[in-house]
Homo-oligomer: A and B are copies of this chain.
């Protein structure tokens, strides 16, 4: 796979190849949907064992990708996301066992009732079918996504960034060998037959063969996939997370929460990007908070009233509201009421994670009811909007779509429910 093809296949040939890949995936999905939990768990153990046995092969493939990426002049951050090492392979191994240990969502009867005519109606969880995942050059996503899809009975087509193609080929090889050894179809985990943008463009148009596409990565990737897709897409857009510090916020709790939300890991989507501070408490709350944040290396960009209290703050521009800094920068704005805070969040928020710090139960209640976001938090760090932290187990991402899944997507979000009706000869009058 390290030699790029010299002759690109024709559009028709490529389309036929993609369709063949997805048709094999569909057929594998039928098999997977019928498996009991034990069979899927055994396959996940086999995946972990095969990964352990092929450690050096995977690392060699990754070294090849890294060398190519270095030559191509990619950034240190890019190379870091691309890099595999023993510790990261250990994490993958642990993750496979963690997913194996999660409860199987498939087959669960979520509700059931009897109709007056005696029909028994049930809603039963089933896999979605075939899931395409389009992501950047992060080889860990390959194993995460494959494991979550396998446990939830879905076949997957994994299209990672082409800079990681040797690593991904090696990792998909691990999964396929383990599937084969477990007597399961290798087509349950596949990559598109050819690299290149055109393959993605065709993959996301396979209506009837692909049930869902999940783009994971930067906003550009997500917008491109959403624009081209004709199958359903669940987006994981940016997290522009706000904290509203109410007039009654406990100063000590505020400092602890804001520092954690902003500085514990600033480069992730559930990190805090903007503080909305009730004007009545700003003079008490802001100065110690600003000292903490500055000590952690955070730059503050404040509105005019903020700068009256914090003369050292950079002036915030209109661009700073609604901005995902993903860095040690925070926007700060004074607001005169809960209503004003909610209005700011509705205008600039991304419906990812929104937080209120308050001691007032009525304001907590109003904030929770009136703010729409995948996760609305009272008095805790925004960093808890995460599948593991909320108790869902491993996650495939955090949806900011409202359809189907809103928030961290665990195994359950990779399933749907069908109606099952048991009768005894009933007909409609």
Q: Is there an interface contact between A403 and B406, defined as CB atoms closer than 8 Å?
A: no
A195 lies within 8 A of chain B by Cβ: no
**Residue in B113, B121, B369, B380 whose beta carbon sits within 8 Å of that of A425 in the complex:** B380
Q: Which A237-259 residues sit within 8 Å CB-CB of chain B?
A: 250, 253, 256-257, 259
Instruction: List, in ascending order, chain B residues with CB within 8 A of A390's CB.
Output: 115, 119, 121, 419, 421
Q: How many chain A residues have a CB neighbour from B under 8 Å? A: 70
Instruction: List, in ascending order, chain B residues with CB within 8 A of A389's CB.
Output: 115, 428
A253, closest chain B residue (CB): B425
A428, closest chain B residue (CB): B383
Q: Mark A246-284, 1 if CB is under 8 A from B, else 0.
A: 000010010011011100100000000000000000000
Q: How many copies does the complex hold?
A: 2
Contact flag A427-B256 (CB < 8 Å), given A416-B403, A416-B406: yes
CB proximity of A33 to chain B, nearest CB, Å: 7
Q: Is there an interface contact between B384 and A421, defined as CB atoms closer than 8 Å?
A: yes
Q: Is there an interface contact between A230 and B227, defined as CB atoms closer than 8 Å?
A: yes
A34 lies within 8 A of chain B by Cβ: yes
Q: Compute how far the CA of A226 lies from the CA of B416 in the bound complex, rounded to whole angstroms.
A: 20
Q: Mark A96-123, 1 if CB is under 8 A from B, else 0.
A: 0000000000010000010100010100
A217 lies within 8 A of chain B by Cβ: no
CB proximity of A238 to chain B, nearest CB, Å: 13
**Residue in B212, B230, B374, B427 whose beta carbon sits within 8 Å of that of A381 in the complex:** B427
Instruction: List, in ascending order, chain B residues with CB within 8 A of A368's CB.
Output: 124, 420
A423 lies within 8 A of chain B by Cβ: yes
A70 lies within 8 A of chain B by Cβ: no
Q: Mark A26-65, 1 if CB is under 8 A from B, else 0.
A: 0000100110000000000000000000000000000000
Q: Which A218-243 residues sit within 8 Å CB-CB of chain B?
A: 226-227, 230, 232-234
Q: Compute how far the CA of A238 lies from the CA of B321 in the bound complex, rounded to whole angstroms.
A: 46
Q: Compute how far the CA of A346 lies from the CA of B390 in the bound complex, rounded to whole angstroms.
A: 38
A interface residues, Cβ below 8 angstroms from B: 30, 33-34, 107, 113, 115, 119, 121, 124, 126, 128-129, 207, 211-212, 226-227, 230, 232-234, 250, 253, 256-257, 259-261, 264, 346, 364, 368-370, 372-381, 383-385, 389-391, 401-404, 406-408, 416-428
Extra contacts, 15 of them, besides A113-B391, A379-B424, A385-B421 (Cβ < 8 A), are: A119-B390, A121-B390, A124-B368, A260-B427, A375-B420, A375-B421, A379-B422, A379-B426, A380-B421, A383-B427, A384-B426, A390-B421, A402-B416, A403-B404, A407-B419
